Structure 1
Amino acid sequence: MKIFYGWVIVGAGIVITCLGMGTMMSLGIFLQPMSAATGWSRTSISTAALLNFLYMGPASFLWGALSDRFGTRAVVLSGGALLGLGLAAASQAGTVGQFQILFGMIIGVAAGSFYAPLTATATRWFSRHRSLAVALISAGFAVGSMTISPLARWLITDYGWRSAMLTLGALSWLLIIPAALLVRKPPALPRAAGAAAGMSPADREFTVARALCTPQFAAISFTYFACCAAHSGPIFHMVSYAIDCGVPAMAAATVFGAAGVASLSGRVIGGLAADRIGAKRMIVFGLALQAVSVSLYVFTRDLASFYGLALMFGFSYGAVMPLYAILVREYFGARIMGTMFGAVNMASTLGMAIGPWAGGWLYDTYGSYFWLYIGSFGIGLGAVAIAFTFRPPREFSLGLPCPNVTQSA
Structure 2
Amino acid sequence: MSSHFSPTADRFVPDSRQAWLRLVVAVLIAAVGAVGMWSVVVVMPVVQAEFAATRGAVSLAATAIFFGFGLGGVIMGKITDRVGIIPAMAISIALLSASYVLAGLSTALWQFIAISFLMGLGASATFAPLMAEASHWFERYRGLAVTIVASGNYIAGTFWPPLVNWGTQAHGWRATHFAIAVVCGVLMTILLLVLRQIMGGAAAHDHSNAPAPRVDLNLSTNTLTVLLCIASIACCVAMSMPQVHIVSYCGDLGYGPARGAEMLSLMMAFGIVSRIGSGFIADRFGGMVTLMIGSVAQAVALFFYLFFTSLPSLYLISAMFGLFQGGIVPSYAIIVRETMPANEAATRVGIVIFASVIGMSFGGWVSGVIFDLTGSYAAAFANGFAWNLLNIVIVLMLLMRKRQQLVPA
Length-normalised TM-score, structure 2: 0.79
Quote the residue 1:378 is aligned against: 386
For the Cα contact (< 8 Å) 2:37–2:123, is it kept in 1? yes
Superposition pairs for residues 193-212 of structure 1, below 5 Å? 200=212, 211-212=220-221
Is 1:78 the counterpart of 2:91? The answer is yes
CA gap of 1:236–1:164, structure 2 versus 1, over 3 A, is farther
CA contact (8 A) 1:149 1:257 kept: no
Q: Give the Cα separation in 1 of the matches to 2:378 and 2:39.
A: 23
1:69 aligns with 2:82: yes
The whole-number CA distance in structure 2 between the counterparts of 1:251 and 1:157 is 22
- Structure 1's 130 and 199: CA in aligned 2 closer, same or farther, altered over 3 A? closer
Aligned 1:238-387 pairs, distance under 5 A: 238-239=246-247, 241-242=249-250, 253-297=261-305, 304-358=312-366, 372-387=380-395
Which SS does the other structure have where 1:117 is aligned? helix
Please say if 1:5 is aligned against 2:7: no
Q: Deviations over 1:265-297 (max 9, x none)?
A: 101111101212232222112112223334545
For 2:189 and 2:245, how far apart are their aligned partners in 1?
30
User: Aligned AA for 1:17?
Assistant: A
Distance in 2 of aligned mates of 1:26 and 1:325: 26
Contact 2:65/2:119, CA 8 A, preserved across alignment: yes
Partner of 1:403: none
Q: State the distance in 2 between where 1:125 and 1:282 align.
A: 20
Q: What is the CA-CA distance between 1:225 and the residue it aligns to?
A: 1.8
The verdict on how the C-alpha distance between 1:186 and 1:326 changes in structure 2, with shifts beyond 3 A counting, is farther
Q: Distance in 1 between matches of 2:330 and 2:382?
A: 26
User: For the residues of structure 2 that align with 1:26 and 1:33, how far apart are their CA atoms?
Assistant: 12
Q: Distance in 2 between matches of 1:372 and 1:37?
A: 33
2:213, 2:337 within 8 Å by CA — same for their partners in 1?
no
Moved more, 242-251 or 25-34: 242-251
- The equivalent of 1:404 in structure 2 is none
Aligned residues of 1:233 and 1:354 also touching (Cα < 8 A): no
Q: Structure 1 residues 21 and 355, CA, compared in 2 at 3 Å: closer, same or farther?
A: farther
Q: What's the C-alpha RMSD, in Å, of the aligned pairs?
A: 3.6
Question: How far does residue 186 in structure 1 lie from its aligned partner after superposition?
Answer: 5.5
Q: Does 1:392 align with 2:402?
A: yes
Quick check: 50-59 or 137-146, which moved more?
Answer: 50-59
Deviation at 1:331, TM superposition (A): 0.8
Contact 1:211 1:332 in 2 (8 A): no
Bigger mean CA offset, 234-243 vs 328-337: 234-243
- Counterpart contact for 2:36–2:119, Cα < 8 Å: no
* CA distance in structure 1 between the aligned counterparts of 2:24 and 2:91, rounded to whole angstroms: 19
Partner of 2:8: none
2:58 to 45, 48, 70: 45
1:347 deviates by: 1.9
Kindly indicate whether the alpha-carbon contact (under 8 Å) linking 2:70 and 2:354 is maintained by their aligned counterparts in 1. Answer: yes
SS of aligned partner of 2:291: helix
Counterpart of 1:121 in structure 2 is: 133
Distance 1:366 1:199, change over 3 A: closer
Q: Tell me how far apart the structure 1 counterparts of residues 98 and 402 of structure 2 sit (CA, whole Å).
A: 43
Candidates 165, 183, 193, aligned match of 1:171: 183
1:6-45 paired onto structure 2 within 5 Å: 6-32=19-45, 34-35=47-48, 38-45=51-58
Match of 2:10 in 1: none
Greater RCO, CA 8 A, separation 6+? 1
Which consecutive residues of structure 2, in runs of 5 or more, have no partner in the other structure?
5-15
Question: Which stretch of structure 1 is more off in the superposition, 144-153 or 318-327?
Answer: 144-153
Partner residue, 1:222: 230
Task: Encode CA deviations 1:352-401: one digit per residue, 9 max, x unaligned.
Answer: 33234445666777777555434323222222222111132979xxxxxx
Q: Distance in 2 between matches of 1:183 and 1:58?
A: 25
Q: Aligned pair in 2 of structure 1 residues 372, 179: CA closer, same or farther (>3 Å)?
A: farther
Q: Any conservation in 2 of the 1:50–1:356 contact (CA below 8 Å)?
A: no
Note closer, same or farther for the CA distance 1:288–1:34 as it changes in structure 2 (3 Å cut): farther
* Structure 2 Cα separation of the partners of residues 264 and 335 of structure 1: 29
1:223–1:386 Cα contact (<8 Å) kept: yes
* Residue identity (%): 28
Question: What are the residue-to-residue correspondences of 1:105-116 with 2, within 5 Å?
Answer: 105-116=117-128
Deviation per residue, 1:181-225 (Å, 9 max, x gap): 233486889xxxx69xx873789xx9xxx95433x2222221112
Q: Which letter maps to 1:114? A: T
After alignment, is 378-387 or 90-99 more displaced? 90-99
SS at match of 2:402: coil
Question: Which one of the candidate residues 151, 156, 161 is aligned to 1:149?
Answer: 161
Query: How many residues are aligned here?
Result: 383
Q: List gaps (5 residues or longer) in structure 1.
A: 396-409
What TM-score do you get using the length of structure 1 for normalisation? 0.79
**1:19-77 Cα shifts (integer Å, max 9, x gaps):** 33343144344445544564433322332232223333332222111112211011112
- What are the equivalent positions in structure 2 for 1:97-112 lying under 5 Å apart? 97-103=110-116, 105-112=117-124
- Counterpart of 1:55 (choices 55, 68, 79) is 68
Larger mean CA deviation between 33-42 and 306-315 belongs to 33-42
Moved more, 117-126 or 243-252: 243-252
Asked if structure 2 preserves the Cα contact closer than 8 Å seen for 1:145 and 1:256, the reply is no
